[in-house]
């Protein structure tokens, strides 16, 4: 098979027009030049090398290296720009956090100070995290602040401490001031209220049970079993009451018990509040009110406390 040789003289004339011609002529000339060299495996970038008698393969390698270097520089510049934006955003957020605490983010508040003071007699040395956590020391922390009486109250206290710790840690990182480590008495108090949520406090109703499992799943995000239980509880809560009864075998209960279960937790709480507000209800014991409505005495006690404090 006869191979046509590249007409270098013709290519030279066309390329001269491509370089010196006006816009329209240059575009047409480049198209003609590409049409001329492409059958021989060349592209437009190869033409200047061909015309000066250079090594096309070496030139291609050098161009590839230059493009790769330019791409690396562009990527590095983009990453640095992203880091600058992140640092700026972190400083803005840090400013907002400190304003929220009136500039006293790292100063112990009254509650934190009470915990530190209660734990001070049990410090083993001058190191901030060296305490002897005996039963007496734990009891001192429990008594330093009023203990939560409900699961939701315990979760709320745990979140307050956790938010304070997260805010301090974020500001330290944004200001490049090292890593914040929460005071040991605070960490111990968080564990105390976490234990109250997970097993010490009795669940008064289905919502309490759901809140407990949701909290446990939050502090142990890798526990697939807890996530499955939480998913099932949420599904049961969203399921209509009639469907719940239809899908499960009817247990052996009295007619009064089935009537109580047919009402929602909100309706039962409202009925308890109505009884407690009545003259007759004020003379009844917690157990009597609980049996009448179909709730636990603990639920009645909690509702009574809320009504009295409100």
Q: Which of 12, 30, 55 is the last residue of a domain?
A: 55
Q: Which of 212, 244, 276 is the last residue of a domain?
A: 244
Identify whether 213 is part of a domain.
Answer: yes
Q: Looking at the structure, tell me whether residues 270 and 307 fall in a common domain.
A: yes
Place of tokens 């009795």: 202
Burial readout 38-74 (b: 16 or more C-beta within 10 A, e: otherwise): eeeebeeebbebbeeeeeeeebeeeeeeeeeeeeeee
Max CA pair span of the chain: 116
Q: Looking at the structure, tell me whether residues 232 and 266 fall in a common domain.
A: no
Q: What mean pLDDT is predicted for residues 21-26?
A: 82
Q: How does the average pLDDT of the chain come out, rounded?
A: 86
Per-residue pLDDT tens over the stretch 186-203: 999 999 999 999 999 999
- Name residues whose C-beta falls within 8 Å of residue 42's C-beta, 6 or more positions apart in sequence: 6, 50, 56
Range of the domain at 239: 202-244
Q: What's the number of domains the chain is made of?
A: 3
Tokens describing residue 302: 């909690």
Name the β-bridge partners of 123.
131
Identify whether 2 is part of a domain.
Answer: yes
Q: Looking at the structure, tell me whether residues 277 and 239 fall in a common domain.
A: no
Per-residue pLDDT tens over the stretch 218-231: 999 888 998 899 89
Angle between helices 265-277 and 286-293 (to 10 degrees): 140
Checking if the pLDDT of 251 tops 80, the result is: no
pLDDT of residue 263: 61
Per-residue pLDDT tens over the stretch 130-171: 788 889 999 999 999 999 999 999 999 999 999 999 999 999
Identify whether 65 is part of a domain.
Answer: no
Identify whether 195 is part of a domain.
Answer: no
Checking if the pLDDT of 29 tops 50, the result is: yes
Q: What mean pLDDT is predicted for residues 90-98?
A: 96
Q: Which of 13, 32, 55 is the last residue of a domain?
A: 55
Identify whether 270 is part of a domain.
Answer: yes
Position with higher pLDDT, 128 vs 204? 204
191 exposed, middle or buried (CB, 10 Å; 0-12, 13-18, 19+)? middle
* Residue 27 to residue 59: CA distance in whole angstroms: 23
Identify whether 219 is part of a domain.
Answer: yes
What is the pTM assigned to this prediction?
0.60
Identify whether 264 is part of a domain.
Answer: yes
pLDDT of residue 260: 45
Identify whether 280 is part of a domain.
Answer: yes
């Amino acid at each position: 098979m006869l191979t046509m040789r590249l007409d270098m003289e013709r290519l030279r004339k066309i390329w001269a027009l491509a370089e010196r011609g006006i816009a329209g002529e240059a575009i047409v000339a480049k198209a003609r030049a590409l049409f001329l060299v492409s059958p021989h495996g060349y592209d437009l970038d190869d033409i200047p090398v061909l015309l000066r008698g250079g090594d096309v393969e070496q030139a291609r390698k050098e161009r590839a290296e230059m493009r790769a270097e330019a791409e690396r520089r562009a990527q590095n510049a983009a990453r640095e720009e992203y880091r600058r934006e992140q640092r700026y955003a972190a400083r803005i957020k840090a400013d907002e956090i400190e304003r929220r605490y009136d500039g006293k983010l790292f100063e112990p508040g009254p509650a934190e100070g009470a915990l530190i003071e209660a734990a001070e007699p049990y410090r083993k040395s001058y190191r901030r995290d060296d305490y002897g956590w005996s039963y007496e020391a734990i009891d001192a922390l429990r008594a330093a602040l009023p203990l939560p009486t409900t699961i939701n109250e315990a979760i709320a206290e745990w979140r307050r401490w956790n938010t304070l710790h997260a805010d301090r840690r974020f500001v330290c990182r944004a200001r490049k001031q090292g890593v914040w480590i929460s005071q040991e008495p605070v960490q111990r108090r968080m564990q105390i209220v976490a234990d109250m949520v997970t097993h010490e406090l009795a669940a008064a109703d289905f919502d309490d049970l759901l809140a407990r499992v949701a909290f446990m799943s939050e502090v142990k995000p890798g526990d697939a079993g807890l996530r499955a239980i939480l998913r099932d509880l949420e599904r049961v809560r969203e399921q209509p009451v009639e469907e719940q009864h239809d899908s499960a075998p009817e247990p052996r209960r009295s007619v009064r018990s089935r009537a109580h279960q047919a009402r929602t937790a909100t309706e039962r709480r409202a009925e308890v509040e109505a009884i407690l507000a009545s003259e007759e209800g004020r003379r009844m014991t917690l157990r009597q009110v609980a049996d009448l409505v179909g709730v636990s005495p603990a639920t009645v006690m909690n509702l009574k406390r809320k009504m009295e404090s409100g």
